[in-house]
Amino acid sequence: MIKKYIKASKIESSLIEIDNVKDMFFGELVKVEFQDKTFFGQVLTIRGETAQIQVFGDLTGMSSENAEISFTARPFELPLSKDILGRKFNGIGEPIDGLGDIYSEKLYNINGRPMNPVARVYPRNFIQTGISTIDCLTTLIRGQKLPIFSENGLDHNKLASQIIRQAKVVSEEGIGEDFSIVFAAIGVKHDEGLYFEHEFRNSGVLGNVVMFLNYADDPIMERLIVPKCALTAAEYLAFEEDKHVLVLMTDITSYGEALREVSSLREEVPSRKGYPGYMYSDLASLYERAGMLKGHKGSLTLIPILTMPNGDITHPIPDLTGYITEGQVTLDPQLTFKDIYPPINVLPSLSRLMKDGIGEGYTREDHQDVANQLFASYSRVQEVRDLAQILGEDDLQESDKKILEFGVAFEEKFVKQDPYENRSIIETLDLAWELMKILPDDQLDRIDPKLKEKYLKR
């Protein structure tokens, strides 16, 4: 039953306060009408019979005399169908591409339903992104949640668009189905939104992408809604339309900042660096919507991008994200200074599900050994570089000079690649073997001798 109130007791910025309201609930959808305009909002706080509403829109000119406010007695819901593919929506799921509304027989609660852990399917299928450092060393698995940790000024947007263009489920038998893409922009600049749309259109994948765009000048509350709208659309495509869905969100830091601001409006006691104490569970409610379910052919893979404030990986947002997700891909400004794209630092990068989705039957039998050797050798490169700064490169032993040579070749040939270069996993592994020929034989101590005989000598 819809409850209507003509007058608000207080209107401030995008907040409305109403007294003497009964039977309301937190997160309830509210409709606000004034001057032939219609806005939506959510119940933000409840104190006794007083409700505070956060409205998604500009309330300039609104007063308690010219506004009609309706409590809908429903949560925030979206109409969804297969027609959402190729469409563009704002942060609260309204079409902004001029192609009309989405019609469906059912409305979907954007808060979703928690996956029953017993019903989850363990992720195993390898996803080929065409990017050597990810495919070989921090392998993405279908159904995984793997964030990209970046910093301001790095090429995370370029990397994200490349992953969207090239991601495929791959096995030794061949290439499987392409992904349907759900893209959520959280608090981005307008030129960033245009960049992604331009990239999707030019690469021919726009018809397979659902875009939810929240710009930096949109209401702050929308930033908390847009990832939920995107994940609801992804769940629909994955578990009702049986599609493999890749969800990409940028920037989770903007989401965290919005969470802190809304928490301040609620006058809640702050925790670390002013962020609310429930930020861990709030982020988990987003990230844990990724995965696969028994009895469903589809899957939901999540790649959230976050820019670490001042490059601090111990900041609450990347810190909590690292606890919840299954690893991270870390971008390094030092590689950007060397003109290396993508600037992925493989040493702090990690994929916890990698071991279960690679090897014979998934990629190739030598994948795990090759990854172990590259990690070990590149780690040794960093040690020798530090030593060279003290002794000078000319005074190093010949074996250490070979290590340095390997380090340069690894960064210039393996890490560095063109944004439109799509390497298969076989090409990536073969390239790794070529680079390992630079190293002395006694340094190749992480590889099975049988594999060394088979791949290094050919």
Q: 25: number of CA atoms within 13 Å, CB side? A: 7
User: What does the pLDDT look like over 328-340, one tens digit per residue?
Assistant: 999 999 999 999 9
Average pLDDT, the chain: 88
Order the strands of the 37-47 sheet from edge to edge: 3-5, 68-71, 29-34, 37-47, 50-55, 15-18, 10-12
Instruction: Give dist(CA 423, CA 441) in Å, integer.
Output: 27
Q: How confident is the model at residue 173 (pLDDT cuts 50, 70, 90)?
A: very low
Mean pLDDT along residues 29-42: 82
Instruction: Give dist(CA 103, CA 80) in Å, integer.
Output: 7
DSSP symbols for 199-258 = HHHHTT-GGGEEEEEEETTS-TTHHHHHHHHHHHHHHHHHHTS--EEEEEEE-HHHHHHH
Tell me which of 19 and 444 has the higher pLDDT.
444
User: What does the pLDDT look like over 403-454, one tens digit per residue?
Assistant: 999 999 999 999 999 999 999 999 999 999 999 999 988 888 999 999 988 8
pLDDT at residue 194 above 60?
A: yes
- Name residue 175's beta-bridge partners: 170
pLDDT at residue 1 above 90?
A: no
Mean pLDDT along residues 34-53: 82
* Backbone φ and ψ of 3, nearest 5°: -105, 125
User: What does the pLDDT look like over 49-105, one tens digit per residue?
Assistant: 788 888 887 777 777 777 788 888 888 899 999 999 999 999 889 999 888 999 998
Instruction: Give dist(CA 154, CA 183) in Å, integer.
Output: 19
DSSP type of residue 353? T
Instruction: Give dist(CA 192, CA 322) in Å, integer.
Output: 25
Instruction: Give dist(CA 196, CA 161) in Å, integer.
Output: 7
Instruction: Give dist(CA 47, CA 258) in Å, integer.
Output: 22
Q: Token pair for residue 266?
A: 């609620």
The percent of residues above 70 in pLDDT, for the chain, comes to 96
pLDDT at residue 259 above 50?
A: yes
User: What does the pLDDT look like over 344-400, one tens digit per residue?
Assistant: 999 999 999 999 889 888 899 999 999 999 999 999 999 998 888 888 877 788 888
Residue 83 pLDDT: 92
Q: How confident is the model at residue 202 (pLDDT cuts 50, 70, 90)?
A: confident
* Backbone φ and ψ of 40, nearest 5°: -120, 155
* Backbone φ and ψ of 132, nearest 5°: -60, -45
Rounded to two decimals, the pTM is: 0.91
pLDDT at residue 109 above 50?
A: yes
- Name residue 300's beta-bridge partners: 245, 291
Mean pLDDT along residues 117-130: 90
Residue 3 pLDDT: 62
Instruction: Give dist(CA 65, CA 34) in Å, integer.
Output: 9
H/E stretch holding 435 = helix 425-436
Instruction: Indicate if the alpha-carbon torsion angle 385, 391, 393, 398 is positive or negative.
Output: negative
The percent of residues above 90 in pLDDT, for the chain, comes to 55
Residue 172 pLDDT: 44
Residue 13 pLDDT: 67
Residue 68 pLDDT: 81
Q: Token pair for residue 345?
A: 């630092």
